[in-house]
Structure 1
């Protein structure tokens, strides 16, 4: 699939003083689209300046353009870029991902999708997300594998942090790791092994849950709402895409209602009450075609909610480890957001709920 997309042998330095002009010229010269007539007809706007990516939108007029995605420094250790591109190409066939138009050495260009990110407190649009996510999960798996990748992802993160995978320590100054010296990577490693045992236990609820193509980063900001096309929701940012329980996406979405306004989000008060969860799930289940004859159809919505509350622990652990890695691999990011503090807070949330998960197999 990758061979069908054009590739340019070029690297972009996001810190280049004139990076916007460089990107603009590259798009104009590399993409021979009808809407590109000359440099003067193009507009460029920085969309994000994050850790994992730097995004620029280039467009000739409203709702007609492309996004240039430049990978963040060292982000290849955290994100499988080939898998990201492979998923986007696959999902585009189902009109669920923007099409990738061109790749370059440290990024790629894809179609611009119109719309605005959905706010965490917009309950009406959140219910539209329920339908969209159900449709997304109904897409067939990209391969014949049916085993989820949650533990695989957790283990990849912890192996970077505990030194089993030495690549992290080849790229950072060892002094930076002193910020995390008090964290027991061994204990977390043992917990991940325990999580795997619970998920894989034969005939348990977890082993019977349906595995789907999961987005795995279902915060509201990754859903765009197009005001001009009533009820149209688009999904963006497929870096964390993998095989997983469909319930991971659902309850990750609920957890992320707390937002990222500070390093200690209010997870307790922002987490939706049971009646709101059930309302959301009723819409989801009515659109989840993949569940027609699955194990979950035998469960009540309350039972699903009970089970999924237990998922809070591994979800918090996932984002805690991710946050520590982001801080270590790009220390300059700490000037904008304290990823170590955020990672520690999510680790506390994991500790708070982990026994719920460990006892869920009984």
Structure 2
């Protein structure tokens, strides 16, 4: 596995707004690109995100040639994300050709390669060519078999860890009022967790190496290369195969402008799933022509049941963030929406029957 520079530097994200090329940032860049000079470096802010600050750096006039991304972790995110596992994920996926290279790690972030292209939007993700590229790339990632990692699904293990630190109150009167009035009780959340765990584990789904966070901004599309690339592998881990598909479909709703009516209907899902299953058979050395209507329908049922787990996972995650995160985002509001969507879909999706 490739060696990654370990740099004992802390980058203060609050200072980057006024000075994108902080001395400590330049020190990191000098190690990765020794030939770069400070006066020739251009910064570009990509996003504040809802977990990290992402900055890009490149030589003037060479944005199309070489960009180094610095991802500076949000405060408190280590409670939710195993950063050592994340770095291992990037190395494994980079060597498999599924993501850009990891160049360095510093005290509160990482430096890695940049993928040129456009992040997806609610309309572009539905483009016939793009959705097929996504299904194919997901197959490629699901086929990756990292050495030394046990293929054990992490969904409910991770969720249990979230529930162990789920807050019993929030820090301001306004937040606390919404917390009490608009969210299920902790007892009800634990009850639903047990229900989901028992029903979804009983499906005996295949376990694959999954991205687990394929929101639209984590998919880069290059029309010139006819390719999509997945980025931000913070939550990558072994998981149930239909969960990754389900989570992606749930993310059609968006993050900043949430609209759950964008969740794909059955006809769309069946078409998407059929293409995925054909790719999955072929990448495993079997003829794609062997995929049957029953296979597609079975995966459709499993995907929609796991959509409930996706809503539940990110709802729980959001409420914890509402308690601990310093990032300027309405995590509480997002968590409330996610829990409401979980409850709205629960009976319908759990009642779906596998084909005979």
TM superposition shift of 1:213 = 0.7
Give the secondary structure class of the aligned counterpart of 1:108.
strand
TM normalised by structure 2 equals 0.86
Partner of 1:82: 84
Structure-2 separation of matches of 1:277 and 1:199: 19
Is this contact kept in 2: 1:5–1:102, CA < 8 A? yes
Structure-1 separation of matches of 2:57 and 2:4: 19
Change over 3 Å in CA distance of 1:332–1:282 after alignment to 2 = closer
Structure-1 separation of matches of 2:186 and 2:318: 14
TM superposition shift of 1:282 = 2.1
Partner of 2:55: 56
Partner of 1:129: 134
TM superposition shift of 1:120 = 2.0
Structure-1 separation of matches of 2:88 and 2:167: 29
Please show how residues 101-180 of structure 1 align to structure 2 within 5 Å.
101-122=103-124, 123-124=127-128, 125-143=130-148, 145-162=150-167, 173=171, 179-180=178-179
Is this contact kept in 1: 2:5–2:104, CA < 8 A? yes
Please show how residues 232-247 of structure 1 align to structure 2 within 5 Å.
232-247=227-242
Please show how residues 177-256 of structure 1 align to structure 2 within 5 Å.
179-182=178-181, 183-201=184-202, 206-207=203-204, 209-229=205-225, 231-256=226-251
Q: Given the alignment of the two structures, is residue 70 of structure 1 paired with residue 72 of structure 2, yes or no? A: yes
TM superposition shift of 1:191 = 2.2
Partner of 2:328: 333
Structure-1 separation of matches of 2:351 and 2:95: 40
Partner of 2:260: 267
Structure-2 separation of matches of 1:149 and 1:142: 17
Cα RMSD (Å): 2.6
Is this contact kept in 2: 1:251–1:308, CA < 8 A? yes
TM superposition shift of 1:332 = 5.2
TM superposition shift of 1:24 = 4.7
CA deviations 1:216-263 (Å, max 9, x no partner) are 11122211112332x12111011111111121111222221121243x
Give the secondary structure class of the aligned counterpart of 1:255.
helix
Give the secondary structure class of the aligned counterpart of 1:311.
helix
Q: Larger deviation: 57-66 or 298-307?
A: 298-307
Is this contact kept in 1: 2:277–2:291, CA < 8 A? no
Structure-1 separation of matches of 2:158 and 2:285: 25
Structure-1 separation of matches of 2:327 and 2:230: 29
TM normalised by structure 1 equals 0.84
Is this contact kept in 1: 2:278–2:291, CA < 8 A? no
Listed as ranges, the gaps of 5+ residues in structure 2 are none
Is this contact kept in 1: 2:200–2:306, CA < 8 A? no
Is this contact kept in 1: 2:92–2:146, CA < 8 A? no
Is this contact kept in 1: 2:11–2:25, CA < 8 A? no
Matched residue count: 338
Give the secondary structure class of the aligned counterpart of 2:276.
helix
Change over 3 Å in CA distance of 1:121–1:142 after alignment to 2 = farther
CA deviations 1:252-279 (Å, max 9, x no partner) are 22221121243xx2213x1222221122
TM superposition shift of 1:131 = 1.3
Give the secondary structure class of the aligned counterpart of 2:21.
helix
